[in-house]
Structure formats: C-alpha cells, structure tokens
Amino acid sequence: MPKLTVVNREGEESTIEVEDGLTVMEAIRDNGFDELLALCGGCCSCATCHVHVDQAFMGVLPEMSEDEDDLLESSDHRNEQSRLGCQLPFTAELDGLKVTIAQED
C-alpha cells in the first residue's frame, strides 16, 4: 500500500499507509491528525486542509484549480508548496509523498 509521510505542526513525522481512492486530506484526517480540520469535508470551500507539499513531488501533482488558488490566497501561511489536501487524489505515483500540515490561520 502506498505511504504518505505527514509532518504535524510540532514538526513530528509519521508515515501512514493510504488506501486506494482517498485524497491526501482524507488519509490525514482518517489517521487521527486532529489539527487538520477539513471542515468542508473535501468540497474545496474552506482551506482547513492546507498542507505544504515536499518540493520533490510538486511536478507530479494535478494542476491547481482557480477555486483552490483563491482559497489559498486567504492564508497567511501560503507558499509555493501550498496545496489543499482535498484536491490531491493519492495515487500510486505519490507513494512516498511528504506533506507538512500548514499553520492555522
């Protein structure tokens, strides 16, 4: 099963296995990372699943939608590696992906 490494807001790393068909947000939420709120449940309407993606994987991610870009604009913690976890389907090619949960706005 593909693996995802999650760095929480305190800098602690955990590696989890991700079931087929989940998004990065669902995988993080379903594995007990309470600091990733995911309030909208994956509808791309709240930005509470904001993560910073490891630079090595930026080229294999799906292109950012206008809605995702607009939501991330409202974050004080946005950087060039910012994405919304709900917009990132976890595929086999993302095996080994590392994300850091962004600070809360």
pLDDT tens digit sequence for 77-87: 999 999 999 99
Give pLDDT tens digits for 14-62: 999 999 899 999 999 999 999 999 999 999 999 999 999 999 999 999 9
Write down all domains in the chain, each with its CATH number in brackets: 3-101 (3.10.20.30)
Query: Shortest CA distance to 67 belongs to which of 46, 96, 49, 40?
Result: 46
Starting at the edge strand found earlier in the chain, the sheet holding 13-17 runs 13-17, 3-7, 97-101, 50-53, 82-84
- Per-residue pLDDT, 105: 85
pLDDT number for residue 20: 87
Total-model pTM = 0.94
